[in-house]
Structure 1
Amino acid sequence: MPESRRSHLIAVFAMASIAAVWGGGFPATKYCLQAGLSVGTLLTLRFAIGTAGLGLMLLVLRVPIRRRDALDGLWLGLVLAAIFWVQTDGLRFTSPSKSGFITGLYVIFTPLVALLAGDRLRASHGLAALVAVTGLVLLVRVPGAAWGGWTRGDSETLLAAVLCGFHIVMTAHFSRRSSGWVLAFIQVAVTGAISLAITLALPAPHSFQGSGAALAHAGTWVSLGFMGLLATTLAFYVQSTMQARLGATESAILFSLEPVWTLAISVSGFVPGIREHLSPTQLAGGLLIFAATFVAELGPRLLKRFQRPEAEEAIG
C-alpha cells in the first residue's frame, strides 16, 4: 500500500474514532447540567483539564510555540469558544441526541464555507453531504409536535453547527502550516480563558456559585474527566494533526458519525439519568448517515473502477 494511502486511512480511522468520543460528550454534558453545574462552570473546568493535559504534552515533547502557530490557535479558540457556549447552553433545552443530530448539520455548512475559501468540492463529497443531511432530517424531526419539536436549544445548536463549518475549514487550512500540538493547546486554552472570564462576570446561578453540590458527586468528575482528557485533550490534538491529510468536506462527513454515537449512548442508558428511545424513522436516518460516510470514502474508487473498463474498451 502506498505511503500516502496508508497515511490517509490512518487519518480516516483517527477522525472516525474522535467522532465516537465526541458523540459521548453530549450525554456526558447533559449529565453535568442535570447534576447542577452551570454552563460556565462546566466549560471552564472541562477546558482547564484539557489545557493542562495538552500543556503537559507540549512540555514533555518540547514543542516550540511559534508566533504563527499561536495566532492560528487564537483564531480557532475564538470560534471554538462560541461553538461550545451556544451548544452547551442549548443542551439545557433539548435532548443529547437531538443536539448531536443538529450539530451534525455542519456536513452541509462545511462544503459551503470551503467553497467560499476556494477549496475544490468533489462530486462524491457533495453527494455524501446531501445523503447525510437527509439522514439528519429524519433523525431530528418529531411528527405532530409544535414547530416539528423545535426549541430554543435547537436554535442555539443550529448556530453552533454553522460555526462548526467555519472551524473545520479553518482547521484544515491552519493545520497545513502550523503545529498540530500548538493549535490544539492554544485553542483549548483560549476557550478555557474565555469561559472563565464570562463565568466570573455572570450572576448566580449562571456563575460558579451553586455548582458546589454537583461537584460533590463522583459522576460529575468522571464526566468532566472524559470531556477534558478524551473529548478535549486527545480529540483536538487528533483533529489538528490528522485533518491536514483530509479535505474539509471529507472531515465533515466523518464527523457526521458523531450524532449516531450520541444516539447509541443515549438510548443505552449507560449514562445515569440519560435514556432516550430510537424510532424507526431515526434508525433510518442513522443508516443514511453511515451510507453517506461510505459514499465519501468509497465513491471515488468505485467511480474509477467503472471508468477503467470504459477507457480500456475505447482504446481497444
Structure 2
Amino acid sequence: MPRLALLLTTVIWGATFPATKAALEQIPPLSFLLLRFLIGTLLVLLWFVICRHRLHHDRAVLEASALTTVFLFLGYLLQTVGLRQTSASNSAFLTALYVIFVPMILMRIDRRVVSATAIAMVGLWLLVKPDTSMNLGDLMTLGCAVAFAGHIICLERFARKVDAPSLFVWQMVAMTVLFLPAPWWEEATRSAFSPTAVLLVALGVTGVFATLAFAVQIWAQRLVPAQQVALLFASEPAYAAWLSWYFLGETLDMQGWIGSALILLAVMIGAFGG
C-alpha cells in the first residue's frame, strides 16, 4: 500500500511540471514557489486546527525539520536557477540522478536495485534526450539531485523518530519563510501575481495536490526504504511527459514512449518485485 501511494503521488509530481511551466509564462519561478509553499503551509495549519493535532516543537522535531529543509530548499533553488542556464531535458535527466545517489550514499546496493536503476537511466535518457555538453547550469542541477537525495534519506530517518505531521508542517513553514525575499530579488511586478486562470490552476496543482503528495511521502517513508522511494520517484519524468503531451500538446515520439515504458518497468522491478 505505501509503495502504491508513492506511485500515485508521483503522478501529482509529474502534473506539477506542465502546470508550473504554464504559470511561469506569467510569474517568475521563485515567486511562484513562494505562493506554492504559502498556500500549502496555510492548508496544513488549517488541518492541524481542524483535527486538533498537537504541533510538536521540541528540539528533536525542530532539528530534524531544519536539516530536511536545508536539502529541500537547496534542491528547489539549484534546480530552478540551474534551469536558466541549461535545457529542460538536461534538467529532467540530471535531477533524476537521485535514483543513483540514494542507494550509493546509503550503501544499499543489491542486484535487483542495480538492474532497476540501470533500466531507469536508459529510459530517462531515451525520454528526455539530454545533450552531452556540461555547463554551470548542469552542475547546479547535479547539485540539486544530490540535495533531493539527501532529503529522501533524511525523511527515511526522521519520519520514524519524530512526530511526522509536525516534521511536515515545520518544513512547509521554513520553505515559505526562505522564499519570502523572492519577489524582491526577482523584481516581480504586481501583474505577475494577477489571479489568472492559468496561475490559479497551477497553484491548485502545486499548492494543494502537491502538498498532499508531500504529506503522503512523509507517511510512506516511515515504511518504505529510501532507495525504493527514489526509484518510484523516477517515474515522475514519464508522467510529466505524458501530461505535457496531453494537456500542452508537446510532442512525444516513439523513443520517448519506449523510454517512459522502461522507466515504469524499472519501478516495477526495483520497488515492487521480489
TM-score (norm 2): 0.90
Deviation of 1:257 after TM superposition, in Å, equals 1.0
Alignment counterpart, residue 177 of structure 1, candidates 150, 161, 183: 161
Query: Where does residue 257 of structure 2 map in the other structure?
Result: 283
Question: What SS does the aligned partner of 1:244 have?
Answer: coil
| Structure 1 gap segments, 5+ residues each | 1-9, 301-316
Provide, for residues 41-73 of structure 1, a one-character-per-residue CA deviation record: whole Å limited to 9, x for no partner.
111111100111111122222233142122211
For residues 88 and 22 of structure 1, what CA distance do their matches in structure 2 show? 15
Deviations 1:218-249 (A, max 9, x none): 21122112111111x20221111111111010
Question: Which of residues 215, 231, 236 is equivalent to 1:253?
Answer: 231
1:242 maps to a residue whose letter is A
Point out which structure has higher relative CO (alpha carbons under 8 A, 6+ apart). 2
Please tell me the residue identity of whatever aligns with 2:179. S
Counterpart of 1:311? none
Given candidates 64, 87, 90, the residue that maps to 2:55 is: 64
1:157 deviates by 3.0
From the superposition, tell whether residues 214 and 153 of structure 1 become closer, same or farther in structure 2 (CA, over 3 Å).
Answer: farther
Q: For residues 34 and 192 of structure 2, what CA distance do their matches in structure 1 show?
A: 17
2:150 and 2:271 map into 1 onto residues whose CA distance is: 22
Report the counterpart of residue 143 of structure 2 in structure 1: 159
Pick from 188, 197, 206 the counterpart of residue 181 of structure 2: 197
Structure 1 letter corresponding to 2:64: D
1:281 Cα deviation (Å)? 2.1
Confirm whether residue 52 of structure 1 aligns to residue 42 of structure 2: yes
Instruction: Work out whether residues 26 and 99 of structure 1, in 8 Å CA contact, stay in contact via their aligned partners in 2.
Output: no
Alignment partner of 1:131 is 2:119 = yes
Q: How is 1:264-283 mapped onto 2 (pairs within 5 angstroms)?
A: 264-268=242-246, 270=247, 274-283=248-257
Q: Per the alignment, do residues 189 and 76 of structure 1 end up closer, same or farther by CA in structure 2, a change over 3 Å counting? A: same
Amino acid at match of 2:198: G
Matched residue SS, 1:108: helix
Match of 2:268 among 286, 294, 312: 294
1:27 and 1:96 in contact (8 A); partners too: no
Aligned residues: 272
Cα separation, 2, equivalents of 1:276 and 1:148? 23
More divergent stretch after superposition (166-175 vs 217-226): 217-226
Gaps of 5+ in 2: none
Is the contact made by 1:49 and 1:228 (CA closer than 8 Å) also made in structure 2? yes
Moved more, 235-244 or 54-63: 54-63
Change beyond 3 A, Cα 1:131–1:97: same
Find the partner of 2:20 among 29, 38, 51. Answer: 29
Identity %: 31
Change beyond 3 A, Cα 1:154–1:280 = farther
Q: 2:197 aligns with which of 210, 218, 221?
A: 218
Cα distance 1:96–1:184, how it changes in 2: closer, same or farther (>3 A)? farther
